[in-house]
Amino acid sequence: MAKKTKIILICAAVLILVAAIVSTLCLVLNKPSDEIPTDKTVISLSVNAYTLAEDETVTITATTNSTDVIKWTSSNPEVASVSSQGRVIAKMVGETSIIATVGDISDSCVIQVVADNAIATIKLAQTTLRLSATGGATQIQGAVIVAGKQQTLAEAGATYEVDNATVAMVSADGAVTPMSVGSALVFVSANGRTKAVAVEVYTMLISTADDWNAMLDLPGDLGARFYVTSDIDFTGVVYNCKINNGGDVLLSQSFCGSLDGGGHTISNVTFADSVSSQSLFGTMVGCTLANIAFSNIRFTASGAAGLAIRILQHYNVTDANGNATSDTLFAPCYVTNVFGDFVYDYQGVSGIADIYFGGGIENVFVNMRMSDGSLFNKTTDFAVAKQSMIWSMADPNWFPNNYLNNVVVLAENGAINAVWDTTYDGAGLTIGLSGLHVVSTKMEAGYLAHRLFDNNVWTVTPGQLPKLR
C-alpha cells in the first residue's frame, strides 16, 4: 500500500512539473519581444529626382501604408507648384523639393526646372488660352523638339487631357471648346513629356468700345469674368454710364464679378452732360478690378467720382419678385494695380468713389486735374471719397476686408482733401489712411510709385506719370 501511494505521489509530481513547464513556455512564447517590429507608417515617391522644362508637368505617385490623406507641398512654389494629387507644374528655372507627407512621415523629390531649350521638350505657341464662354473651339498650337528635330504636335502623336471638363473640353486633336466661365488646365503629352496649357474662360473678352459698353449693360453677376484684350479708345463713342447709384444695393444694377484689364488702357472717355451721376462703374459690389489704366477720362458734372459712386462690400437679398429685402450678404470689392487719369469740369468731386462702403484698394495711382486748369478746393474735392461708411457686423469677415494700401493721388493744381467725413461711419468705425499718399508734383508721385509699387507691373520714369506694363 505504501509503495502504491509513493507511485501516485511521483506521478502527481511529474504532472505538476510538466504543467509548470508548459505554462512557462506559453508565457515565453506569448510575451511581446522588442525584437519583433510593430507596423510603422511609411511613404515612398515614384521618383526622387526629375528634370522639367518651363511649363512642363509631371505627376508623382506616392505609395503609403497609411489611410490618411497625403499632403503635398513645394519648398519653392515659384519654381514649381504641386497639386493635391501630386501633379507638378514647372514655372521658372530653378530647383525645388516636392514633399509628400502623411502623419509625421515624408518623402521628397528634387525638381530641377531648366530653360525650354535645354532638353527634349514641347514648345507651345500659347501657354494660356483666354476664351469667351460663348465662343467656338480654339486649336492648341505647338511643336515637339527631340535631338534638334522638330515635329508638329500632330506629327508627334500628341495627346490631350483636361482637368476640368465643366469649364472646357479638349478633342483628340487639341481643339479646346469653352463650356462655362472658370479655369482649367489642358495637359499636352508627346515623346514622354507633358506641358500644361492654362485655359481661362470669361463671360466676355473686351476688345472694342462697343464690347465695353455691352459689358456695362449686362445685369450684375458675382460670377462674371471679363478680360480686356487690347487698348480701347472711346473717341467719338458715347460711354454707357451706369446711373443707378442710390438706395438698395441690387446685384442686377451693379457692376460685379472680376475685370482684368491685362495691362491695357481705356482712353478718351467724355461723359454726356445729360448724365448727372458720373463714374466709370456706377455701383461696384463684389467686384475685383485689376491691371487696368484709364487715361483722359473727362467728367462733365459736379459730384463725379473716378471709379464708382459707391464701392460696397454688401448687397441686398431679393425676394421671388426681385425686390430688395432687409437682409444683406457679404461681397467685398478689391481694386489692385489701377491707374486713373481723371479730368473734371466742376468741383465737388472724388478721385475714386463718392461714398466708400468698404473694400480693399491697393497699388492704385490717381491723377486728378481740372479741365480748364483751375484749382481744386480742399473743402469740396477729395482724394479717395467724400464719405466712408463702415459697419460693424456680427460676421467677423466684414471689417477686416477694408483697407487702403499704396494709394498715390496727384493733384497738381490746388489742394484736395486726404480724409473723408467720418461722421457717417457706422458704429464709429473707419480705416487707417497711412497707406494713402496725396502729392502735388509728378516728381513726388513718381518717387512714391517707384518705392511702393511692384516694378514688375509698373514702369516709372522720373517726372512722368507711372504706367502699367
pLDDT tens, position by position, 59-69: 999 999 998 99
Query: What is the overall mean pLDDT for the chain?
Result: 87
**Weakest-pLDDT range from 209-218, 360-369, 455-464:** 455-464
In angstroms, the Cα distances linking 395 to 19, 90, 166 are: 74, 39, 32
**Joined grid coordinates for residue 151:** 515635329
Question: pLDDT value at position 39?
Answer: 72
**Taking a C-beta distance cutoff of 8 angstroms, is the pair 252, 216 a contact?**
no
Angle, CA of 95, 97 and 99, to the nearest 5°:
165
**Taking a C-beta distance cutoff of 8 angstroms, is the pair 336, 363 a contact?**
yes
Question: pLDDT value at position 398?
Answer: 57
**Joined grid coordinates for residue 209:** 468700345
d(CA 218, CA 256): 10
Name the nearest CA neighbour of 296 among 245, 327, 340: 340
Question: pLDDT value at position 33?
Answer: 43
**Taking a C-beta distance cutoff of 8 angstroms, is the pair 72, 83 a contact?**
yes
Name the nearest CA neighbour of 124 among 146, 139, 113: 139
pLDDT at 128 > cutoff 60: yes
pLDDT at 249 > cutoff 60: yes
d(CA 423, CA 386): 11
Question: pLDDT value at position 448?
Answer: 94
Q: Which residues of 121-134 are buried (b: 16+ CB within 10 A; e: fewer)?
A: bbbbeeeebbbbbe
d(CA 177, CA 170): 6
Listed ranges 63-77, 82-96, 170-184, 382-396; the one with the highest mean pLDDT: 170-184
pLDDT at 47 > cutoff 50: yes
What do you get for the CA distance between the two ends of the chain, in Å? Answer: 119
**Joined grid coordinates for residue 299:** 467728367
Which whole number is the average pLDDT over 3-28? 46
pLDDT category of residue 410 using cuts at 50, 70 and 90: very high
Question: pLDDT value at position 28?
Answer: 41
Read off the pTM.
0.84
pLDDT at 415 > cutoff 50: yes
pLDDT category of residue 420 using cuts at 50, 70 and 90: confident
At a CB cut-off of 8 Å and minimum separation 6, what does 75 contact? Answer: 96, 97, 98, 99
Which whole number is the average pLDDT over 163-168? 96
